[in-house]
Amino acid sequence: MTNSKTVGNSDFQFNANSDWAQRPDGVNWLDVVAVHFSAENNVYVYNRGDREMIYFDSQGAYLGDWGDTDFARPHGLTISGQDEVFCTDDYAHTVTKYDLDGNVLLELGSRGEKSDTGAIDVDYRNIKYSAGPFNYPTNLALTSHGDFYVSDGYGNARIHHFNALGEHLRSWGDPGVKPGQFAVPHDIRIHANGEIWVADRENDRLQIFSPEGDFIRLLNGFARPASLDFGPDGEVYVFELGYRAGMFPGNQPPYAEAPGGRLTIIDHRGKTLCQIAGGDATAEAGDFYAPHNVRVDANGDLYLTEVVWAAGGGRGLAPEGCPALQKLTRN
């Protein structure tokens, strides 16, 4: 297994490092679901292992963790400019706001109780109709004035808008393939111009909305986009799960040579600027087995997380040594 490798093209070249995080001995994080950054640029790593929130400095040095927590299954993470830590817990059907030390400040949703969408489990194909918050929520995005939008999720097909107090303002979306409909809205970001960008994973596309939920446009042609984030120069990083891992039972790749996990960099209009990997060497740095979350820091460096265990590793389907977290440092 190669732990460091140069990837990308002449415009977007990175050094990929799968050993960036210096975990304490004996700490196993199994799947890493998300990362984000505090105001001091420390990196918070949300995971499904022994300590579900671990934080490091930007060089990968271990700083601490939250110890024992009561997450049912960690999924999404977003930290505000005021160091409020928002976590989605999809199996608990909750969105919870913490301080940096893990103290609860606000919780939305009734733990363990999901909204009624007619779905009997986490499979989006069983959703009969959309509903209110929450049914396996995936992630959220924050505005500069504290409002937030929640993508919901595996068992729902909606985006929910809340104000800074956690009061529900509006929701939009239904199950399906038409514009404004969703099949696993898996991640969500807010562009600098106020647009709401949603990774509509099982529809192979990004959808873009106004802050009020009005449909604006689609960007098609992705391979199950699991996550997206915006770079410092306006570029968009789209982390795609692909068709070689994490497929719902019975679903088939669209064609024989369909790609695996990859990172696609586009401009605001959807033009491809660079594409990295494709799932051919998933145990190597710079390639990906089960993409889940991408974040870009202020320097343009990337942090990419994977759910190797959930997507196949737990059933012996993943090559040995697939990393759960990589840092790609911009050259």
Section 141-146 average pLDDT = 96
The pLDDT score that the predictor gives to residue 68 is 85
C-alpha to C-alpha distance for 306 and 330, rounded to whole angstroms? 20
pLDDT at 237 over 80: yes
Fold annotation for 4-330 = Neuraminidase (2.120.10)
Q: What confidence score (pLDDT) does residue 286 get?
A: 97
> What predicted TM-score, i.e. pTM, was given to this entire model?
0.97
CA pair distance 245, 50, nearest whole angstrom:
24
Residue 107 confidence class, pLDDT cut points 50, 70, 90? very high
Tell me the C-alpha distance between 85 and 42, whole Å.
13
Q: Give domain limits for the chain.
A: 4-330
What pLDDT does residue 26 have?
86
HEC string for the chain: CCCEEEEECCCCEEEEECCCCCCCCCCCCCCEEEEEECCCCCEEEEECCCCCEEEECCCCCEEEECCCCCCCCEEEEEECCCCCEEEEECCCCEEEEECCCCCEEEEECCCCCCCCCCCCCCCHHHCCCCCCCCCCEEEEEECCCCCEEEEECCCCCEEEEECCCCCEEEEECEECCCCCEECCEEEEEECCCCCEEEEEHHHCEEEEECCCCCEEEEEECCCCEEEEEECCCCCEEEEECCCCCCCCCCCCCCCCCCCCEEEEEECCCCCEEEEEECCCCCCCCCCECCEEEEEECCCCCEEEEECHHHHCHHHCCCCCCCCCEEEEEEC
Pairing of the two strands 181-182 and 225-230: unpaired
Average pLDDT, the chain: 96
Residues 251-275, mean pLDDT to the nearest whole number = 96
- pLDDT confidence of residue 2: 67
What span, in angstroms and rounded, lies between the C-alpha atoms of 72 and 114?
13
Q: 328, 287, 327: which is closest to 308 by C-alpha? A: 287
Query: Would you state the pLDDT for residue 1?
Result: 58
67 has pLDDT over 70: yes
The C-alpha atoms of residue 84 and residue 108 are separated, in whole angstroms, by 15
Give per-residue pLDDT as tens, 267-321: 999 999 999 999 999 999 999 999 999 999 999 999 999 999 999 999 999 999 9
Residue positions counted in the chain:
331
How many Å apart are CA 13 and CA 271, to the nearest integer? 18
Q: How many CB atoms lie within 10 A of CB 254?
A: 9
* CA dist., res. 149 & res. 198, Å (int): 10
